[in-house]
Amino acid sequence: MGQGATAPQLRRLILVSALLAGCASAPAPVARKPSPPPPPPPPVVNSVDTGSAMRQLLEISGQRSVAQLAKREAIWNDPGLRIPLPRMMERASRYLTMRGYSQELQAFHKSINHAAELAIADFGGPLSDVTLAVQWPAGGRVAGGDVAATAYLRNQAGETVRRQLSPLVDLALRQTQANREYEALILGAGDLGAFLAGPRDDLSAFVADRAVAALFKTMGRQEARLRRDSDGGGVDILRRWYQQNARAAASP
């Protein structure tokens, strides 16, 4: 260092030397590894349904429902499915019972429920055809929770199901003699005009509407059970569908 350096210059040289020494001894910064991307969310099997997987699910739930409801008194013994008396008979039931028609009224009530069971028992084939014909939306997303597929089927093809089930209900009402029992009760009501006032219920249409409701309600129960039950087949169907779609999305 030169002799002509002043005291301020010497202080600056010492400060610079210290800074350089500190920089040399400081550890090099550690490069951070990039964070892995978050895993994709699991498939929401309660609200995302589509095409072939849903047809398979509906086929299973539909055929199980037909087999369940075809059993004698299956609808009658289930308070959530039981077909009530037609409105006119309901209004007159108390007075028919007072006149000694309680057994006839009970027999008629059971007959219309049994007619629905008989009609549904023969509906397995037509139900499969309706299920296969339903067009699922592009992208395959339908809402409805555990009964999404059943709700979509009813919305899209409920009237078709009713139209095709109605002739079977007509035949079943004749087989169970519910039509005759209906007429006999109306005659038995006699002068109860105030209770029988208004248009008479179309018995066939009345039973058909409620048979369709019982069928779809049972299908919804079966669908929900299939989604929850790993041994029921429905979960496997949905899992295979998601795996197939994942592979298709990953392929170039």
Higher pLDDT, 184 or 115: 115
Predicted local confidence at residue 155, as pLDDT? 94
Predicted local confidence at residue 50, as pLDDT? 60
Residue type at 205? A
Per-residue pLDDT tens digits for 84-109: 999 888 888 888 888 888 999 999 99
Predicted local confidence at residue 205, as pLDDT? 96
pTM here is: 0.72
The string of DSSP letters for 129-144 reads HHHHHPPPPTT-B---
Domain ranges of the chain: 51-135+146-250
> Is the predicted pLDDT of residue 203 greater than 80, yes or no?
yes
For residue 128, the Cα-to-chain-centroid distance in whole angstroms is: 17
Q: How far apart are the two ends of the chain, measured CA to CA in Å? A: 71
Per-residue pLDDT tens digits for 29-87: 555 566 666 655 444 444 344 677 788 889 999 999 999 999 999 999 999 999 999 98
- Over residues 144-165, mean pLDDT: 92
> Is the predicted pLDDT of residue 208 greater than 90, yes or no?
yes
The answer to whether residues 96 and 188 touch, using CB atoms and an 8 Å cutoff, is yes
Per-residue pLDDT tens digits for 2-38: 455 566 666 666 655 655 555 555 455 555 566 666 6
The answer to whether residues 75 and 113 touch, using CB atoms and an 8 Å cutoff, is yes
Predicted local confidence at residue 42, as pLDDT? 44
Residue among 166, 171, 178 at smallest CA distance from 76: 178
Average pLDDT, the chain: 79
Per-residue pLDDT tens digits for 113-145: 999 999 999 999 999 999 999 988 766 567 778
